[in-house]
Each structure stands twice: as C-alpha cells, then as structure tokens.
Amino acid sequence: MTGQGTTGQGTTGRGTTGQGTTGRGTTGQDTTGGAHRRAAVIGSPVAHSLSPVLHDAAFRALGLDWSYTRVECDEAGVPALVRGLDASWAGLSVTMPGKRAALAAASSATPRATLVGAANTLVPEAGGWRADCTDVDGVLGALRAACGFTGGSRAVLLGAGGTATAALVALASVGVTEVSLVVRSPARAVEARACAARAGVSLSVSSWDSTDFAALAASSDVLVSTVPPAATEPVAHALAESPCVLDVIYHPWPTPLAHAVEKRGRALATGLDMLLHQAFGQSEQFTGQPAPRAAMRTALRAATDHVLPLPLGD
C-alpha cells in the first residue's frame, strides 16, 4: 500500500512544500477563489499506496480539477512537512509511520482521533490543521458492509499497532465492552492499554504462545487481525471459529486466515474494505461534499483486479 518519492508538486521526502499558510477554511473546502487544490498521502514507504486511486476517482466524480499524490515522509519529517504546506492544500491522508506524529502536529483534533491517539487525516482550518482518524470509519464500515456486524460485547484483537487502536475505538462505539488482545509480547501493548482506558473498554492481554485461539475466537462476537499472514497461518482454522472476522491484510490474497474463514462459512471483512470505507470520510473532509462512494469503489476494484466485491452496505 505504501512507498516512494515526490509529489511532482514541489514536495519531497522529509517534507518541504508550498509557501505559507493563508486562505485555509475550516475543512479542505476551497477558500482560494477556485484555485487548483492538492492533497496527498504521506508515509514511508508510500509507492504502492492505493489512496490516489480512491481520491482521484472522487475528484473526477465531483468534477474537481484537483490532484492527489504520494509523498515519502518518515515520522520525524511530519511536523516540518505540515508546517510547509500552503493554501492550495485541501488535506493529507497519513499512513504509517506518521499517524501519531500527525496528531501531535495538528492544532486541533476530533474526539475519536484523541481516543485512538493517532490521526490518518489532516485538513486545514483557521490557524492550523485539524486531525481526524477515519480508520475508525474504515473498521466499522468494513464490518457492517462485508459482515453485517452492527455490534456485540466481546471481541478478539490480534496485534497492538496503530490499526489495533483504531479498531478498539471502533468496537467500543458499537457496544463492545470486553476485548482480548493477543500479542507476541505484552510489553508491546502499552499504547493499546492506554487507548482502551480512554475508550472505556476492559482489555485483557495475553501472549501469543499461551493463547487457546479456538476457545477465544468461539467466545467472541468479532475478531480483528492486524498481524501478518505468517503469524495467523498456524492458527487460522482456530481463529475462524469467530462468527465475524476482519483481516486487515489483503495482499497477497487470499490470506491463510481469509481462506480458513471462508472455508468455515463465517463472515469475512478485509483490509481493502477497510481502506475503501475510511476513504469516504477523508474525501468529504477534503472536498466538503458527500463522497461519491460508488465511483470510489469501482476505481478500487478495478485497481485490484476485482479480487474482492467490496460491498458498500447501503
């Protein structure tokens, strides 16, 4: 999903772009008299990001002559990059490793970004930038559209990275009160513990080697895996005991977990579903207009050889 280079718009690497900070509205809406607007995904690496596919499709469908590019930027480079953006910028999508830095660089943040402790979206506002985390929408939209999941009380979460904290906040918002977090080492769960406390979720942490995955999955309403296929492959059939599974990894497809879930006849949501649904909120914040959901879905399916149906769920 991520990778190289320059935007072709005077932006490079660790981040200098533009000339000043005037003309910003409270969202990414154009306040510069109809001038060409820009947006980008930032992270490292970003060369394989599919975000341009989604947002370029949105701009075309909305009749906007805007550009969306990729900017290679590591975590340390985020503050300088954001400070250097001029009034032509409508917003940024932020991928790893810059999501926590994006939140810190913002002048304000939505409640959910604060709960997650990270931001995947930055949009200009008077005097600075507002941070949001539409990854929460991505998790919920994927689960609702692909699995029919609208709520429950118990969840299993594999992995404790940035996607995991967004999943915690998303699950808390639909009534989940107990989450079993499984990690290689409990020492890696510091951010997840803090996030769960902010979100009001009871979090139990167990190590990978000591977990009875079949029993844990069978007792859950939903399972979210944020870990690589090599980790889930030995226990994929056990994990498929959960009635609803979101595997955020989608390349190469199918993953061992996805294959096991489909074989077991359980409901499956994917990282591509999540990517699509998180992009809707970003598009709306960038443009100030409703996201052209069908056009964005069509573009993403075409870019991924129609490997997944990517239901919209509405």
User: Which residues are catalytic, by number?
Assistant: 99
Phi-psi region of 114 (alpha: psi -120 to 50; beta: other; left: phi over 0): alpha
E strand intervals along the chain: 38-43, 67-72, 89-94, 108-109, 121-125, 128-132, 154-158, 178-183, 202-207, 222-225, 244-247, 267-270
Strands (E), 4-43: 38-43
Name the residue among 181, 281, 279 with its Cα closest to residue 224: 181
End-to-end CA distance of the chain: 26
Nearest to 98 by CA among 71, 137, 61: 71
The angle formed by the CA atoms of residues 123, 55 and 115, to the nearest 5 degrees, is 45
